[in-house]
Amino acid sequence: MCGIVGYIGSERAVPILVEGLKKLEYRGYDSAGVAVLEEDQLHLRKSAGNLAVLDKIIQKEKIPGCMGLGHTRWATHGAPTDKNAHPHLDCAGEIAVVHNGIIENFQEIKAELEKEGHSFATETDTEVVAHLIEKYYEGELVEAVHRATQDLAGSYALAVIHRKTPDRIVAFRQDSPLILGIGADCHFLASDIPALLPYTREVVILEEGEMAELKKQSFRVWDPGGQEREKEIEQVQWDVQMAEKKGYPHYMLKEIYEQPAVLRQLLQEPLSGDQVEIPGVKKILEQMEDIERIFIVACGTAYHSGLIGKFLLERAWGIPVEVDVASEFRYREPLIGDKTLLIVVSQSGETADTLGALRYARARQAPTLGIINVRGSTIAREADNVLFIEAGPEIAVASTKAFFNMVAAFNLLALKIGGQKGNIISPEKLEEKLRELPALAEKTLQGVEEGTRQAASYFQKWNHAFFVGRGLDYCLALEGALKLKEISYIHAEAHAAGELKHGTLALIEEGIPVIAIITREDLLEKMVSNIQEIRARGGYVIGIAPVDFGPRLGEELDRLLLIPATEGALAPLLATIPLQLLSYHAARLRGCPIDQPRNLAKSVTVE
């Protein structure tokens, strides 16, 4: 993963680089570093720990120089130490390189370079790039980077500066994102758009295998064959405020509270006319009758949204839908062809496994649909159809508003397809209920804030928790457990409520917290029986249910968090909110670094 920034212009580079890195810290926070050129002086500062540690070091000095690179790391090769922090240098200390991705053949290259006399200072894969460029440099940095990249295998976004050419930054992209920012008399580069937003909304997105040279007043781009290429300058719709905390203590809380607004944004265009119109899926609708089977493929939270998508689409479309974890999908060699629709779901649009699944399907002529948040991301560019979830920048590592809008996007799709196929009894009613949902989400946020705080305080003394549900609620249970593990480090397991008695019930002991999600009326009695089984063994059951179930559940639970009543298929969206807040408050009470949980990064661009 890792985040890269670069700047060349007339301002002092260090504050700009640090500001950019702050916006990319979600990509990794094991170490951070900057390399700045001032005439022919290369200033390098790097340190293990998050950006705040580096910031403290560089605050003490006013490093000069109006061009440089910055990096925030999610360690892959080599421990998260000062030494292994990027940028990395060549033998002469003249070339500085930052890298996001993995150089798969670095061992062979390193052995070869060592034989040629290069000496290595770190355990990273990245350092070979600096030495390769040193080997090939004959006065032209672009040429040297081009030759070096010919030797590399793997995924890598690179940015390079050389003490002898202090008027340019050279960048290269292969399977890891890299975006150029166009300023007035200056240029930027970054792994993701939020890092550019304080300076510019004009961007150029590099494609696979493209190389760029940034100077103060100009930029050039070459295609993989080495031909110079004109690039379109795109206008970003997000503004700088969207990527700020806006007074919230954490991005995660801000993003939870943004859910009603982002849902309104998602629904606005599709529900603005007489017919439901979803921009980006027209081709799929034309091919609808030819499609015999659907695969939904994604990772983590996006995968959980896919599980819900399966329920919705199978019913609406009337064809079988399978859901796969992306890291497993292509290795089981699924039977896929031109009558199979592959739906990939991803907030970042950069997740390596999900991208791998997309490419696997495209290579077999399968039509593809991306349900994606980030415009311009690799998956958004490569999928045949894209339904953008309009969640705006999501900075916290724990995904909240993106999940919310992924599930809402599946509902929209189901409404459109089910309406067209006649598989939904009353599409008008469902549409009406969807329209009401943003207001109900607001009501849910107000209604459960205090209850989730109190319930979370119960978790304080526990290191284990269980989540149970049936049907769509089981999918939500999986998401609730992931969220709790990820940010509070409480071990959490999710089970289909009816499965507990087949083994896991043995773990239920006096007082252990169990969160039961109960939004399905038809399964209410069965859930009550499962809850009784848990409580009879001492489990402390916190229920999440629509307000109209309250009278039937009151006595059955130790604590009840009520959400507004809505259409059955939409209730899981509202039930997501207390689950998110429960995790948030549990993590807060435990003093965890909520936006940057240990060992994780937001955008997982390695397999």
Which residues sit at the interface with ligand M6R, rule CB under 6 A? Answer: 299-302, 346-348, 351, 354, 397-399, 482, 486, 603-604
| Of residues 544 and 604, the one with the C-beta less far from ligand M6R | 604
Strand (E) or helix (H) holding 149: helix 141-151
| Of residues 397 and 455, the one with the C-beta less far from ligand M6R | 397
Output the DSSP codes for 454-522.
Answer: HHHHHHTT-SEEEEEESTHHHHHHHHHHHHHHHHH--EEEEEEGGGGGGTGGGG--TT-EEEEE---GG
Contacts of 265 (CB under 8 A, 6+ apart): 390, 392
Shortest Å distance, C-beta 346 to ligand M6R:
3
Burial of 279 (0-12, 13-18, 19+ CB in 10 A): exposed
Shortest Å distance, C-beta 326 to ligand M6R:
8
Residue among 75, 25, 68, 69 nearest 50 (CA): 25
Strand (E) or helix (H) holding 47: strand 41-48
* Residue 299 falls in the annotated catalytic set: no
| The pair of three-digit structure tokens given for residue 261, joined into one six-digit string | 């607004």
Shortest Å distance, C-beta 600 to ligand M6R:
6
State the greatest distance between any 2 C-alpha atoms of the chain, in Å, as a whole number.
Answer: 79
Give the Å distances, CA to CA, from 414 to 141, 276, 417.
52, 11, 5
* Residue 592 falls in the annotated catalytic set: no
Query: Checking phi first, is residue 523 left (phi over 0); if not, alpha (psi -120 to 50) or beta?
Result: alpha
How many alpha carbons lie under 13 Å from residue 113 in its C-beta half-sphere?
25
| Sign of the dihedral defined by the CA atoms of residues 45, 51, 57, 62, in that order | positive
| Of residues 58 and 389, the one with the C-beta less far from ligand M6R | 389
Instruction: Assess contact for 580 and 256: CB atoms under 8 A.
Output: yes
Shortest Å distance, C-beta 42 to ligand M6R:
35
Shortest Å distance, C-beta 347 to ligand M6R:
3
| The pair of three-digit structure tokens given for residue 277, joined into one six-digit string | 């119109």
Shortest Å distance, C-beta 606 to ligand M6R:
11
Candidates 2, 66, 299, 592; catalytic one: 2
Active site residues: 2, 602
